[in-house]
Amino acid sequence: MYFSLLALSETGDDIVVIDPCWVTYAPSAALAGARAVPVPLSRDNTLDVAAIATALTPKTRAILINTPHNPTGRVFNQAELTALARLVKEKDLWLICDESFDLFVFDGRRHLSPGIFDTIRDRTVLLYSFSKAFALPGARIGMLVGPEPLCRLIANCTQQLISSVALPSQKLAFAALQQEAEWAPFLRKTYQEKRDVCLKGLAADKRLETTVSEGTFYLFPNIERIGMTSDELAKHLLNCAGVAVTPGAVFGVAGEGHIRINMVGPNAQLDAGVTALIQGLPQ
């Protein structure tokens, strides 16, 4: 992410990011000398291309999105991405897409990458994470796909800062890619089951409005009916119920009024955690 923005940005450029978004996007832009301009998703977490168009300025260099989306769990569909690709082409921008959760799609959905659009392929950068897709967080390795001239420039950046990825991590990543055809269906089935376990438990308290996650391993319930800020509720649940959630506010202004639930671990523990969360909500 950082190397992409460093290669593409000049000091003072604007980078449009969707709100809410993963917490490192704005700092990565700032480190590259640019400014992150947040644009909220629609109320139903739809990619609001009209709002993105309104946010563009002469300084806008790129649009940064994430699908499947952390933290909401949305998987942007072809209509949304087609409209975005049209805007990128019309305004002569770059599109950066974080696809760290590309293998995590549920209910028979298909992850669509902006890389499918021939019209903007020479202006598209795709980012992937072996930490998420293949459960290899210790390997600290990701993958970037983009036009060759840009990739050569990014390679120059990485050589000065990290030299190269450790050889054991490269071997782990290569082995993981060779097993993707068998791994991906197992991953989708397993995490869809985890999602359903959590959704069933959260339905016990009607004050939580939980949208069905289409992908990732997160849920992002609306907590406005609880009457506390996301930070207040996160601290309350940790102190009173021993349950750790992430306050939605850390993901941007549009994330306030939500908490993010991480659906990782055995199903029995997830069920126990959701039960403790419900019991720990203020009455």
Identify whether the C-beta of residue 122 lies closer than 8 Å to the C-beta of residue 90: no
The total number of residues shown for the chain amounts to 283
Give how many domains the chain has, as a whole number: 2
Last residue of a domain, which of 138, 154, 178? 178
Token output for 160: 């000065």
Identify whether the C-beta of residue 258 lies closer than 8 Å to the C-beta of residue 248: yes
On whether both 50 and 28 belong to a single domain, the answer is yes
Identify whether the C-beta of residue 221 lies closer than 8 Å to the C-beta of residue 258: yes
On whether both 13 and 139 belong to a single domain, the answer is yes
Alpha-carbon torsion, ordered 220, 22, 105, 131, to 10 deg = -120
**What is the structure's pLDDT at 105?**
98
Global pTM value: 0.95
On whether both 231 and 145 belong to a single domain, the answer is no
Domain CATH code at residue 163 = 3.40.640.10
On whether both 167 and 60 belong to a single domain, the answer is yes
Identify whether the C-beta of residue 87 lies closer than 8 Å to the C-beta of residue 49: yes
Mean pLDDT rounded to a whole number for the chain: 96
Domain that holds residue 61: 2-178
64 residue type, one letter: L
pLDDT digits (tens, 9 = 90+) for 39-91: 999 989 999 999 999 999 999 999 999 999 999 999 999 999 999 999 999 99
On whether both 205 and 128 belong to a single domain, the answer is no
On whether both 90 and 121 belong to a single domain, the answer is yes
Is 90 exceeded by the pLDDT of residue 160? no
**What is the structure's pLDDT at 63?**
98
Last residue of a domain, which of 178, 193, 212? 178
d(CA 105, CA 132): 13
On whether both 50 and 121 belong to a single domain, the answer is yes
Is 90 exceeded by the pLDDT of residue 37? yes
Helix (H) or strand (E) holding 185: helix 180-202
